[in-house]
Each structure stands twice: as structure tokens, then as C-alpha cells.
Chains A and B, each alone.
Chain A
Amino acid sequence: MARLEIEIRLRLGDFDLRIDEAAELTGVTALLGPSGSGKRTLLRIIAGLERRASGHIHYAGEAWQQPTRHLPAWRRGATLLFQDVRLFPHLNVAGNLAYAAKRANPERPGPDQAEVVGALELEDLLERQAQSLSGGEAQRVAIGRALLARPRLLLMDEPLAALDLDRRARLLDQIAGLPARFGIPVLYVTHAIEEVARVADRTILMSHGRWTAQDETSVILERLDLPDFTGGGATGALLRATVAGQIPEFALTRLSIGSQQISVPAVTQAVGSEVRLRVRARDVALATRRPESTSIRNVLEARILSVDTENDSAYAEVLLDMDGHHLRARVTRASASELGLITGQPVFALVKSIALDGRPIAGEV
């Protein structure tokens, strides 16, 4: 864990970045915001690549920026993973990896080349020229190169933007495992809720050059105003579930959420492993009695924590509690009024669709 303290100002035309906050960075921390919110600029300021910003930055007790002194990027030990990858085109993959390894601070602990090559499956790429790699391969090499620099902080700028869905999921798995495996905190810039749900332990919300909030990812993902930070998308909740067992005859997997169970189309994770589910509010319906004869299989007992009605719209957002697990439902105000939904009331949540580990699970469940 390392403390990042930022007190920074940057004006560029109409854009005004002003942040005076601190965050404990551990595991993966997401920096979530719409485009134009300044998250990429902030990442560049932290890396030491944006000299026009004024103010202070301290990381793990070291002054990275002060009004009179700007610690140059190469001395910060903050490696930035660029959206456009930026492998060195005149070197092959092995050369790119060696470039970072040779310049790594030998006093800092870190993985060696064999570990990195193994973890990111780079063995077959080592002799390839940087330009001959596909988007996913190049980004994996870039992650390996970043790790070999033995950074104290790994900054990632939408590293999956150029990849197709399948590769995104695989690379997300690898990124999520980095902090635990190599002991390096990751600050992960994105505007995709699904990526945040999959990888981030904590999330910082950014808009208009300000930090709006920071909290546990599950808390942030329950916020009603989340669409404002993702340029669309939807409100919802993040559930941590455990794989309880397989139902091979129906190709389903049973998952435990607290004392209750749901079933989803079969997933490959081993029994006992934890998975993250993102459930959008509009995919949850409510009933005051346990419904019978319905195609929706996942009916969860819950208690209403709050009912937020939006005055100008037809909808109400209902926050539900299931033994500490939260779920969010979006129903019409008319339904909320007809069912007489009030705080503390027990209800049944009907879950229509679920995204698992950042991957949508198709169809009705």
C-alpha cells in the first residue's frame, strides 16, 4: 500500500484540472470518468510527463512534484502503459523487455524476465519484431516491459481500448492478478464500467477535472449518478459470489451470494473461487410475494434499503440489501407506488441478466 497525495492545478483553455486529494493505492484502483474529464491528463501528470501542471504530488513519502522542483519522469519509478502501446519499433520483443530490465533500479524488488515471460505468455513472441504483433500481443509485451522496469506504481491508460472483446477479457484477468503477484499498485484509467467491475478494488470517480468520489468499487458501482461518469451505461451493483457447483444437464453453474444461490449459464471457474457479478438496475424486477410460474430462475430475498424517485422521470431506483450484499433495481414510479415499496420492507428481486467478470452472460437467466 502506498499513499498518493495530489494537490494540482492545470488550466488548458476551457479545461480546468483542480485536484486536492489523497488516496491509498493498493491492488487495482480505477480512475473512472467520461472522456474529457481529465483522467488521462492526471495520469500523465503523475507520471511526470506534463510539466505545465503546478502544485504538489507525493507518492509513498517521496516528493514527485513541488512548486520549485519537478522530479523528472525517469526518476519517479512510475511506469505508464499507454493506450497506443508505444513499443520501440527498432527493437524486437526481447529487446523491448531488455530495455526496461537494464534500466530498472536494482535496489527495488521486482520480477525477473523469466517470471514476466511466463505470467504474460510471451515465450513465443520474444524474437518477433514489435511491429509484427497484434494489438493484444503488443499490449501484453508492453505490460511485461513495464513490470521489468520494477515500477513503484503502474499507471494504465485504457490499455484495452484497441482490443476485441475476447482478448479484453483475458488481458483483464492478467491485469487483475498483477498487484497480488508482483506487489505493484495499479492506477487504471477507463470509462468502461465492466472493466472497473472486473479489476478494480477501489474506484475514483472523475468529472470536469475534479475527483468526485473515491470508495470501494462495489460502493461506487451502486451510485445512481454513475451514468454521468461513463458517458451512458447504466446504474447497477457489483456482487461478489462464490462458485458453488455445476448443473451439467442444463449447462448451468450455481453461485452463492451470502446464504442464497442463483444459477447462470455454465462458467469455467473452479468450485469455491470468487467471481464478480455486475447486475444492472434495469435488469432487476421486484415482487412483494415470491412469484410462481415464471421463466426467471433467479429470485433473491432482499430488504429495501432506500427508494430514490426521480421527480421528472417515470422511474424509481431501489437499493436492496441481502445480508450485506447490495443490489439495485430500476422500476417505474407507478410500480413502486402500487406495490407500496418502503424502506425496510422485504421483497423478492427477480434478476433477468447478469454480467460475470466483466463479460456479459447472454440471454435470460
Chain B
Amino acid sequence: MDLTPIWLTLRLATVTTVILLLVGTPLAWWLAHSRARLVPAVEALTALPLVLPPTVLGFYLLLLFNPQAGLGAFWLKLTGDTLSFSFSGLVIASLFYSLPFVVQPLQTAFQGQGRGAMEAAATLGARPLDAFISIASPLAARGFLTAAVLGFAHTVGEFGVVLMVGGNIPGRTQVISIAIYEQVETLDYAQAHQWSALLLAFSFLTLLLVYGLNRRAAPRVG
């Protein structure tokens, strides 16, 4: 059994989750606490991937990745590689696709704790970043866990966007979901069975972990 698609999927999901946590945390904090008029618009943009068909997202990303112009051309000049049909392109696509799954749990967690604890920390002499790390983050621990697990799992389960943006290049863009698709197309049902069962088990265990931890953590942090 060729395990390359599994490793590729895990790598994609890990890289995407790490970047999304780094980018999504300040974005979620801003959405949770800003009074700017821009907030609803940014909130709507962030949530778009939840309702948009993956093909629509994939189509626009393909336009964006066009090696003849804009970001695509810049990337080609910078790295010598195209964004379309490459691992880097998949990462960028996944960042958009999984963004709401990371931002929304974080935003909910930040909103839930209010401003009270951060204000108390400030009057005790804690700088904003210090207070964020020492107070807001631990209080949002459940939110971070949920965000990381959902972001990771959702990236693993991605199909439509990957197919449009990355195609089906073994070792480069062929993730598990695409590999299963190909196995079904080529009537390799035995292999498709194995991998589908693997994904099913993974997804179930992941969600079990999230709900289980949320329940156990509830009385302490809530």
C-alpha cells in the first residue's frame, strides 16, 4: 500500500493548522472585541467558505494562482514554481477553506470571557501581549483546542477545492480524499474501502476528542 497520500494529507493539515492558528488568533481577537464598523463585513467574509460551493472558491483561487499575472506570477518569480497544481497552492487554498473552523471557536472563546479579566490584568501592570498570553489564552484553552482539531480535521476532509486547485498529482497534490476518488474511478474498491474506513474512524475519533474534552473542561473554565 502506497502511504504517500496519507503523509501528504497530514503534512498539509499540520502546516495549514499552524498557520491558521497564528493568523486566526489575532483575527478572532479583533472580531471578538473591536467596535469597528468593518467587523460584520470581515465576519461574513470569514464565514463564506462555510456556505460557498468548494468549486466557486477553487475557481477564484485558480484565477488568483494564474502564473501569468498577480500573485501567481509573483510566486513563480520568487520560487520558480507555480501555485496552481503545487503543494504551496494547496496550503493557500486550505487556509481559506478552513479559516472559519479555526476563527469561529476562537472568537466565541474570546467573546465568552469578556473584557473583565484583561482589564484586571492591565490595572495590575500587565502589558497587553503579556495579559493576552497569561490570561486570555489560558481562559480560551478550550477554544484553541477546538479550533486546532476542527481546522486540522476539516483540512484532512477537503476535496473539491483540492481537486480544482491541486489536481491529482501523486506525491505532490494527491491527498487521501483525491486518492479515494481515483480508486473508485478505477474500480479499486478494496483500496477505497480501506482508506474510507480510515478517514471515517479518524473523523469520528477527532470529534469524539473535541466533544469529550469540552465536556470535561466545562466546569473549570466556564
Distance in angstroms between the alpha carbons of A72 and B141 in the assembled complex: 27
Selected A-B contacts with CB under 8 Å, 29 pairs: A47-B123, A49-B119, A49-B123, A73-B122, A74-B122, A74-B123, A74-B126, A74-B128, A77-B125, A79-B123, A79-B124, A84-B116, A86-B117, A88-B117, A88-B135, A88-B139, A89-B139, A89-B220, A90-B141, A90-B220, A99-B121, A99-B126, A100-B124, A103-B124, A103-B125, A104-B125, A105-B125, A146-B124, A155-B123
B contact set with A: CB distance below 8 Å: 116-117, 119-128, 130-131, 134-135, 138-139, 141, 220-221
Residue of B124, B135, B138 with highest tally of chain A CB at under 10 A? B124
Distance in angstroms between the alpha carbons of A194 and B41 in the assembled complex: 51
Asked if A149 is an interface residue, CB under 8 A from chain B, the answer is yes
Asked if A82 is an interface residue, CB under 8 A from chain B, the answer is yes
A86 touches B119 (CB 8 A): yes
A80 touches B123 (CB 8 A): yes
A149 touches B124 (CB 8 A): yes
When C-beta atoms are compared, the residue in chain A nearest to B219 turns out to be A131
> A residues 52-85 with Cβ under 8 Å of B?
72-80, 82, 84
> A residues 264-285 with Cβ under 8 Å of B?
none
B221 touches A90 (CB 8 A): yes
Top 8 nearest A-B pairs by Cβ distance? A103-B125, A73-B122, A86-B120, A80-B123, A149-B124, A100-B124, A90-B138, A74-B122
For the residues of B in contact with A, the DSSP-based class is helix
> A residues 84-121 with Cβ under 8 Å of B?
84, 86, 88-90, 99-100, 103-105
Q: Which chain B residues border A159 with CB–CB below 8 Å?
A: none
When C-beta atoms are compared, the residue in chain B nearest to A87 turns out to be B120
Q: Which chain A residues border B128 with CB–CB below 8 Å?
A: 72, 74
Question: Whole-angstrom distance from the CB of A47 to the nearest CB of chain B?
Answer: 5
Q: Which chain B residues border A82 with CB–CB below 8 Å?
A: 116, 119-120
Q: List 10 other contacts, CB 8 Å, given A49-B119, A74-B122, A82-B120.
A: A74-B128, A78-B123, A86-B117, A88-B121, A89-B220, A90-B141, A99-B134, A100-B125, A103-B125, A149-B124
Q: Which chain B residues border A74 with CB–CB below 8 Å?
A: 121-128, 131
Question: Whole-angstrom distance from the CB of B206 to the nearest CB of chain A?
Answer: 25
B221 touches A89 (CB 8 A): yes
When C-beta atoms are compared, the residue in chain B nearest to A99 turns out to be B124
Q: Which chain A residues border B130 with CB–CB below 8 Å?
A: 103
A contact set with B: CB distance below 8 Å: 47-49, 72-80, 82, 84, 86, 88-90, 99-100, 103-105, 145-146, 149, 155
Q: Which chain A residues border B138 with CB–CB below 8 Å?
A: 90
Q: Which chain B residues border A47 with CB–CB below 8 Å?
A: 123
B125 touches A86 (CB 8 A): no
Distance in angstroms between the alpha carbons of A100 and B127 in the assembled complex: 12
Q: Which chain A residues border B220 with CB–CB below 8 Å?
A: 89-90
Q: Which chain B residues border A155 with CB–CB below 8 Å?
A: 123
Residue of A82, A88, A145 with highest tally of chain B CB at under 10 A? A88
Distance in angstroms between the alpha carbons of A149 and B131 in the assembled complex: 14
A103 touches B123 (CB 8 A): no
Q: Which chain B residues border A75 with CB–CB below 8 Å?
A: 125
When C-beta atoms are compared, the residue in chain B nearest to A75 turns out to be B125
Q: Which chain B residues border A49 with CB–CB below 8 Å?
A: 119, 122-123
Question: Whole-angstrom distance from the CB of B68 to the nearest CB of chain A?
Answer: 48
Q: Which chain A residues border B134 with CB–CB below 8 Å?
A: 99
Distance in angstroms between the alpha carbons of A79 and B122 in the assembled complex: 9
Partner of B122, one of A48, A89, A90, A104: A48
Q: Which chain A residues border B116 with CB–CB below 8 Å?
A: 82, 84, 86
Question: Whole-angstrom distance from the CB of A190 to the nearest CB of chain B?
Answer: 19
When C-beta atoms are compared, the residue in chain A nearest to B135 turns out to be A88
Residue of A73, A77, A79, A149 with highest tally of chain B CB at under 10 A? A73
Question: Whole-angstrom distance from the CB of B117 to the nearest CB of chain A?
Answer: 6
Q: Which chain A residues border B126 with CB–CB below 8 Å?
A: 74, 99, 103
Question: Whole-angstrom distance from the CB of B135 to the nearest CB of chain A?
Answer: 6
B125 touches A72 (CB 8 A): no
Distance in angstroms between the alpha carbons of A76 and B127 in the assembled complex: 11
Question: Whole-angstrom distance from the CB of B120 to the nearest CB of chain A?
Answer: 4
Known: A88-B135, A90-B138. A73 touches B123 (CB 8 A): yes
Question: Whole-angstrom distance from the CB of A105 to the nearest CB of chain B?
Answer: 7
Distance in angstroms between the alpha carbons of A183 and B149 in the assembled complex: 51
Q: Which chain A residues border B135 with CB–CB below 8 Å?
A: 88
Distance in angstroms between the alpha carbons of A48 and B139 in the assembled complex: 23
Residue of B122, B131, B221 with highest tally of chain A CB at under 10 A? B122
Distance in angstroms between the alpha carbons of A105 and B138 in the assembled complex: 24
